């Protein structure tokens, strides 16, 4: 033990307890103004969806044919009324529920399924990995819009079927990213070291792989939410997703398109909501990616 | 005290006695296929390790030197079965690895490795304490005990556990991370430690600290080292014996002082005189070798070094020299050492001074 | 007039990290100076400042840099473009990252010549060929048409040197050019640099962490620690008669051939300081066995030992004896 004293580092760094990884990510994310604005927008949208019954000034489903297509700024209808005389503001607020649900749910489902497939393929590597990934590539070969429309069409219209088809669209994309990240992590020396200490594949994946790949996959998944929202809106627009009279931004865009010459600003409102929501998710994903990048 | 500290084998795991080598490698071979073309057919092989035999005695440090592509790192990975050898056998303390007598898992418990890249060899998402405690837990040590052992080891490698145990790898300097890697390798109480360029990425002033630490730990835990490095000064300093590799084969092996002072293989000589002199009055005037080491995909025929050797003769391009005794414990694979090989400088007859 | 004249250069990143902290260094024409130091010592930052390679927004540069009489820090982007190449050029540690993978090496050399000079393509190719012969690339005609990945490590490094010499620069900056190379190749490149300096009258600044490589090429050596030059002098003076405890420590901690088996290395304790929180006095004081009270409080000035040999240490006269540096002279 006498020799030990000579090794003890004399560096004057103060004793400090390290923060956890996610605390560090949050600290870096907070310093990113763009990401914080995006996060605020998303939180506001989610709150709006949850509190819709309290926020909406009117019933989103009841309309009066007498006051159809009132312009923005009409007394009592700050955002005007739609083609059936329903209050636009209330419909947009209620629409957040279905739109966010349709945007987020398929991505969450695909996150679990795709990660499982991708991590398995990536860690197994070799022939097993190749077979899994080539199968996945078959799905990947179709453009996502086409695949979603075809699947929804085959399954029949309705919210549930739209969710399933969107999930199927995203699984290959997430699996691909998961496979790529896992392959990278698998080649790291700490995985080698874990193998060299006799650990089995399940233990290695649980302790050393998951923690390092779920983050990047999660970031990628976040960026898919905007795509999912737009696709879901598209399905609703085509009559394959949410059915009228339920308020959903994509569906609203569809039904209001006839009014585009009469009240162009009004008809664009659901599109504006979709645009801002998806931009917010994309910017948050970008910020997360930067914040999760631990430099030496 | 969790970890015993006698200089001899602390667990009386020594089965074969001091005369049995701790590690015996026979005919180790690794050919990586190169696939190409539309069908991914094998077009050629990288002969990364091409028939390597050596022994590591108990308690010694065997240094392995050579240039990139000589197969020294591949050899270390093959030993631990991190990549599967094409052919060859490994014996540990007289027992064949992978036989019922000694399972791969048990062998891996007794043989650990320290990698060059101190950052890449630590999981960035685990605290260093958790990284060190991981391997013992794999082998059934309860978590609480594994963590206690990790903290003890941190202290042994010169990192105050109170300050460092809870930190993450990116919060440490390169030298500190390499200390953690060493502690991690020792957590399973191995008998053999493979050090693959373990100090090469460190700054010089830190390198000396880590080398001292390695020597202390060796005495303290009765370890045996296989020390792989491209830095000949460091290898000479730390090794009892040295093995020089060239293009996947052993060129020369022998006691460190003998190899460094009386090298037999022209490649060893060239490698030694390529070292910068650090004497401003005797700067190197001429490079001992021209060009780069050849590609291990299609190594030269005969003696692999004949394309760069200044003693090359006709016979060198056709006859592959075997490792031949050149002195006590000293072997070299050069036709100038092989009696009656046909090289004009070869000893005549069959007898070699033994 | 010196080829390069750096006066009190200070480089700060992001407002906090003081990477270079008052470096003064001049290099004569045809002289090879090695800047040696550990990672974070500021040696590469100093070198890159000469090329103005730091991102301008995040970097604050103070002091003056004059190269061949031109004020580098005052240059406009246009002037910089004319300066990089014909006056100063640079070679890097990893040629594979510095060379463009989609063009042949010959095309890249010709492109640089054509950009800076009014010559025909044929002439440019002839110049490229001559450069390849100059850096001793075997079968140069064929190698001009090779892509970087088709060359071996040593060959690529030679090709990068050829590229750097394309516009006949006066000053060559070398950033650890031999660190990634094998021992037998490293010595070839070091000898090539020495030969180029002698034949072309180049001034070379050679950055390395390897004392051995520095001694092989350099006339003078400047040792950097925590952003400052702590000692400079001719290679001989620095090796035989080191005055700064850090230089002495570097020399003593080297593993070398004549050591007794089982001896311990004389390691420098501790680790380099955090550049965002430098100590008020000498940055090396916390690791220094010869430090006295004033080292903690005040930054030592540069003391002249003899001629061009300078050391930033209050105890340059007696510290070497205390630290046992005499033994080094004999080694």
Chain C residues inside the 8 Å CB shell of B230: 182-183
Residue-wise pLDDT tens digits, A245-286: 888 888 888 888 777 787 778 788 888 888 888 899 889 988
CA distances from A66 to A82, A83, A86, A258 (A): 11, 10, 10, 18
Residue-wise pLDDT tens digits, B321-338: 999 998 899 999 999 998
Exposure on the CB side of residue B172, measured as CA atoms within 13 A: 28
CA distances from C184 to A235, B63, B240, B293, C148 (A): 66, 18, 24, 9, 21
Number of helices (H), then strands (E), in chain B: 10, 12
**How many whole angstroms separate alpha carbon A217 and alpha carbon A59?**
40
Backbone angles phi, psi at A68, to 5 degrees: -80, 145
Residues 71-130 of B with CB under 8 A from C: none
Residue C128 confidence (pLDDT)? 93
Query: Taking CB atoms and an 8 Å cut-off, how many pairs form between chains A and C?
Result: 16
Backbone angles phi, psi at B51, to 5 degrees: 80, 75
- Kindly state the average pLDDT of the residues A119-143: 88
Q: Which of A134, A122, A110, A281 is nearest to A213 (CA)?
A: A122
Residue B274 contacts C where some CB pair is shorter than 8 Å = yes
Structure tokens at A187: 């080649």
Residue C260: strand, helix, or coil: coil
Residue B113 contacts A where some CB pair is shorter than 8 Å = yes
Cα-atom radius of gyration of chain A, to the nearest Å? Answer: 24
Please name each of the domains of chain A with its CATH number: 25-49+84-291 (1.10.3720.10)
Dihedral of the alpha carbons of B149, B152, B157, B162, in degrees to the nearest 10: 120
Choose among C185, C249, C256: nearest Cβ to B233: C256
Specify the CATH architecture of the domain B23-36+43-245: 3-Layer(aba) Sandwich (3.40)
Residue C23 confidence (pLDDT)? 93
Residues 71-100 of B with CB under 8 A from A: 77, 80, 82
Chain A residues inside the 8 Å CB shell of B171: 18
Instruction: Calculate how close chain B gets to C154, using CA atoms only, in Å.
Output: 6
Residue B39 confidence (pLDDT)? 67
Residue A2: pLDDT over 80: no
- Kindly state the average pLDDT of the residues C83-94: 90
By C-alpha distance, the chain B residue nearest A211 is B125
Residue C301: count other Cβ atoms within 10 Å of its Cβ.
Answer: 9
Task: List, in sequence order, every residue forming a beta bridge with C34; answer none if it has no partner.
Answer: C206, C221
Residue-wise pLDDT tens digits, B7-20: 444 456 777 788 88
By C-alpha distance, the chain B residue nearest A5 is B158
For residue A7, name the pLDDT band (cuts at 50, 70, 90): very low
Residue C318: pLDDT over 70: yes
For residue B347, name the pLDDT band (cuts at 50, 70, 90): confident
Chain A residues inside the 8 Å CB shell of C270: 9-11
Residue A22 confidence (pLDDT)? 77
Q: Test A13 with C274 for CB contact under 8 angstroms.
A: yes
Residue B157 contacts A where some CB pair is shorter than 8 Å = yes
Choose among B204, B277, B291: nearest Cβ to C209: B204
For residue A119, name the pLDDT band (cuts at 50, 70, 90): very high
Residue B17 contacts C where some CB pair is shorter than 8 Å = no
Residue B37 confidence (pLDDT)? 66
Residue C258: pLDDT over 60: no
Q: Test B292 with C152 for CB contact under 8 angstroms.
A: yes
Which residues of C sit within 8 Å Cβ distance of A?
A: 269-271, 273-274, 279, 286-287
**How many whole angstroms separate alpha carbon C215 and alpha carbon C174?**
15
Instruction: Calculate how close chain C gets to B282, using CA atoms only, in Å.
Output: 9
Chain A residues inside the 8 Å CB shell of B187: 197
Domain ranges of chain B: 23-36+43-245
| C107-136: b (≥16 Cβ within 10 Å) or e | bbbbbbbbebeeeeeeebbebbbebbebbb
Q: Test A9 with B176 for CB contact under 8 angstroms.
A: yes
Higher-confidence residue of B41 and B76: namely B76
Q: Test C270 with A10 for CB contact under 8 angstroms.
A: yes
Chain C residues inside the 8 Å CB shell of B198: none
Q: Chains meeting A at 3+ CB pairs closer than 8 A?
A: B, C
Choose among B119, B138, B167: nearest Cβ to A198: B138
Please name each of the domains of chain C with its CATH number: 1-87+170-225 (3.40.50.300), 95-168 (no CATH), 245-330 (no CATH)
**How many whole angstroms separate alpha carbon C325 and alpha carbon C247?**
10
Task: Let me know: does B248 contact B50? Beta carbons within 8 Å.
Answer: yes
Residue C72 confidence (pLDDT)? 92
Element (H, E) at C80: helix C77-83
Residue-wise pLDDT tens digits, B336-346: 998 888 888 88
Residue-wise pLDDT tens digits, B256-311: 999 999 999 999 999 999 988 788 888 888 888 888 888 888 888 899 999 999 89
Residue-wise pLDDT tens digits, C268-315: 888 888 888 888 899 999 989 888 988 999 999 999 998 889 999 999
Instruction: Calculate how close chain C gets to A7, using CA atoms only, in Å.
Output: 7
Residue-wise pLDDT tens digits, A190-206: 998 998 888 888 999 99
Residue A8: pLDDT over 70: no
Q: Test C185 with B209 for CB contact under 8 angstroms.
A: no
By C-alpha distance, the chain C residue nearest B213 is C264
Structure tokens at A13: 């760094």
Q: Which of A11, A86, A6, A104 is nearest to A49 (CA)?
A: A104
Residue C263 confidence (pLDDT)? 78
By C-alpha distance, the chain B residue nearest C153 is B292
Residue A15: pLDDT over 80: no
Q: Test B208 with C267 for CB contact under 8 angstroms.
A: yes
- Kindly state the average pLDDT of the residues B232-260: 92
Q: Test A196 with B80 for CB contact under 8 angstroms.
A: yes
What pTM did the predictor assign?
A: 0.83
- Going by their DSSP bridges, the two strands B224-228 and B61-65 should be labelled as parallel
Task: Let me know: does C9 contact C23? Beta carbons within 8 Å.
Answer: yes
Residue B349 confidence (pLDDT)? 62
User: A50-64, B216-230, C302-316: which has the minimum mean pLDDT?
Assistant: A50-64
Residue C74: pLDDT over 50: yes
**How many whole angstroms separate alpha carbon C235 and alpha carbon B302?**
44
Choose among C216, C267, C271: nearest Cβ to B212: C267
Residue B125 confidence (pLDDT)? 86
Q: What DSSP letter does each residue of A226-294 carry, written as one string?
A: HHHHHHHHHHHHTTSSSPTTS--HHHHHHHHGGGTTT-HHHHHHHHHHHHHHHHHHHHHHHHHHHHT--
Residue B351 confidence (pLDDT)? 47
Q: Is C179 exposed, middle or buried (0-12, 13-18, 19+ CB in 10 A)?
A: middle
Higher-confidence residue of A90 and B246: namely B246
Instruction: Calculate how close chain A gets to B80, using CA atoms only, in Å.
Output: 6
């Amino acid at each position: 033990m006498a020799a030990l004293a000579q090794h003890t580092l004399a560096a004057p760094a103060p004793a400090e307890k390290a923060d956890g990884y996610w605390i560090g990510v949050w600290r870096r994310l907070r310093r990113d103004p763009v990401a914080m604005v995006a996060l605020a927008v998303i939180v506001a949208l989610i709150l709006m969806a949850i509190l819709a019954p309290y926020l909406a000034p009117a019933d989103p489903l009841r309309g009066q044919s007498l006051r159809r297509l009132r312009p923005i700024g009409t007394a009592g209808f700050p955002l005007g009324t739609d083609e059936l005389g329903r209050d636009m503001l209330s419909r947009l607020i209620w629409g957040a529920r279905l739109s966010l649900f349709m945007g987020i749910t398929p991505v969450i489902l695909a996150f679990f399924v795709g990660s499982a497939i991708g991590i398995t393929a990536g860690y197994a590597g070799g022939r097993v990995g190749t077979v899994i990934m080539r199968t996945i590539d078959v799905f990947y070969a179709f453009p996502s819009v086409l695949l979603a429309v075809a699947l929804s069409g085959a399954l029949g219209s309705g919210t549930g079927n739209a969710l399933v088809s969107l999930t199927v669209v995203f699984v290959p994309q997430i699996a691909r990213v998961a496979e790529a990240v896992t392959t990278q992590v698998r080649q790291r020396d700490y995985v080698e070291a874990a193998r060299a200490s006799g650990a089995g594949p399940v233990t290695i994946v649980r302790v050393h792989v998951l923690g390092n790949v779920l983050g990047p996959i999660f970031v990628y998944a976040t960026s898919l939410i905007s795509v999912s929202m737009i696709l879901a809106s598209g399905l609703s627009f085509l009559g394959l997703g949410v059915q009228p009279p339920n308020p959903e931004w994509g569906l609203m865009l569809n039904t209001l398109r006839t009014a585009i010459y009469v009240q162009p600003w009004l008809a664009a409102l659901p599109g504006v909501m979709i645009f801002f929501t998806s931009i917010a998710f994309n910017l948050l994903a970008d910020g997360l990616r930067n914040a999760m990048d631990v430099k030496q | 005290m969790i970890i015993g500290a006698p200089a001899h084998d602390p667990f009386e795991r020594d089965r074969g006695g001091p005369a049995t080598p701790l590690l015996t490698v026979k005919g180790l071979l690794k050919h990586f296929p190169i696939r190409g073309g539309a069908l991914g057919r094998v077009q050629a092989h990288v002969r990364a390790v091409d028939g390597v035999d050596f022994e590591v005695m108990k308690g010694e440090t065997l240094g392995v030197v050579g240039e990139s592509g000589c197969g020294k790192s591949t050899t270390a990975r093959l030993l631990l079965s991190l990549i599967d050898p094409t052919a060859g056998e490994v014996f540990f303390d007289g027992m064949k690895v992978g036989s019922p007598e000694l399972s791969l898992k048990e062998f891996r418990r007794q043989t650990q490795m320290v990698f060059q890249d101190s950052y890449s060899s630590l999981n960035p998402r685990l605290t260093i304490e958790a990284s060190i405690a991981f391997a013992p837990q794999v082998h059934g040590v309860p978590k609480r005990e594994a963590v206690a052992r990790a903290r003890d080891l941190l202290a042994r490698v010169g990192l105050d556990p109170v300050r460092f145990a809870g930190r993450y790898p990116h919060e440490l300097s390169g030298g500190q991370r390499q200390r953690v890697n060493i502690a991690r390798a020792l957590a399973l109480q191995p008998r053999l430690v493979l050090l693959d360029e373990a100090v090469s990425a460190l700054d010089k002033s830190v390198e000396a600290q880590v080398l001292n630490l390695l020597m202390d730990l060796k005495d303290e835990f009765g370890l045996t080292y296989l020390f792989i490095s491209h830095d000949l000064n460091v290898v000479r300093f730390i090794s009892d014996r040295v093995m020089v590799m060239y293009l996947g084969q052993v060129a020369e092996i022998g006691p460190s002082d003998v190899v460094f002072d009386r090298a037999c293989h022209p490649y060893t000589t060239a490698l030694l005189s390529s070292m910068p002199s650090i004497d401003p009055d005797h700067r190197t005037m001429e490079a001992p070798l021209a060009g780069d080491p050849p590609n291990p995909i299609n190594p030269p025929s005969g003696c692999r070094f004949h394309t760069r050797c200044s003693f090359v003769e006709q016979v060198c391009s056709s006859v592959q020299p075997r490792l031949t005794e050149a002195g006590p414990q000293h072997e070299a694979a050069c036709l100038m050492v092989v009696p009656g090989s046909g090289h004009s400088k070869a000893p005549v007859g069959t007898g070699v001074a033994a | 007039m010196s080829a390069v004249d750096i006066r009190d250069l200070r480089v700060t990143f992001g407002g906090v990290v003081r990477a270079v902290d008052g470096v003064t260094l001049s290099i004569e024409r045809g002289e090879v100076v090695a800047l040696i130091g550990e990672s974070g010592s500021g040696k590469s930052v100093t070198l890159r400042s000469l090329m103005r390679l730091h991102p301008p927004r995040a970097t604050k540069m103070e002091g003056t840099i004059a190269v061949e009489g031109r004020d580098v820090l005052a240059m406009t982007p246009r002037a910089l473009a004319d300066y990089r190449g014909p006056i100063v050029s640079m070679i890097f540690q990893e040629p594979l990252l510095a060379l463009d993978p989609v063009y042949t090496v010959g095309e890249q050399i010709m492109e640089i010549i054509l950009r800076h000079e009014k010559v025909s393509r044929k002439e440019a190719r002839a110049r490229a060929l001559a450069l390849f012969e100059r850096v001793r690339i075997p079968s140069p005609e064929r190698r001009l048409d090779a892509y970087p990945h088709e060359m071996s490590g040593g060959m690529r490094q030679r090709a990068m040197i050829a590229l750097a010499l394309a516009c006949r620069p006066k000053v060559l900056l070398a950033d650890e050019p031999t660190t990634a190379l094998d021992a037998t190749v490293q010595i070839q490149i070091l000898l090539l640099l020495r030969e180029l300096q002698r034949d072309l009258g180049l001034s070379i600044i050679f950055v390395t962490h390897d004392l051995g490589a520095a001694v092989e090429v350099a006339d003078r050596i400047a040792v950097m620690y925590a952003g400052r030059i702590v000692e400079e002098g001719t290679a001989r003076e620095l090796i035989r008669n080191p005055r700064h405890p850090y230089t002495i420590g570097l020399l003593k901690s080297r593993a070398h051939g004549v050591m007794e088996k089982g001896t311990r290395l004389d390691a420098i304790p501790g680790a380099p300081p955090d550049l965002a929180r430098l100590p008020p006095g000498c940055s090396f004081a916390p690791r220094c066995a010869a430090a006295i009270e004033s080292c903690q409080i005040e930054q030592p000035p540069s003391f002249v030992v003899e001629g061009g040999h300078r050391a930033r240490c209050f105890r340059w006269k007696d510290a070497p004896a205390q630290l046992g540096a005499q033994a080094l002279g004999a080694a």
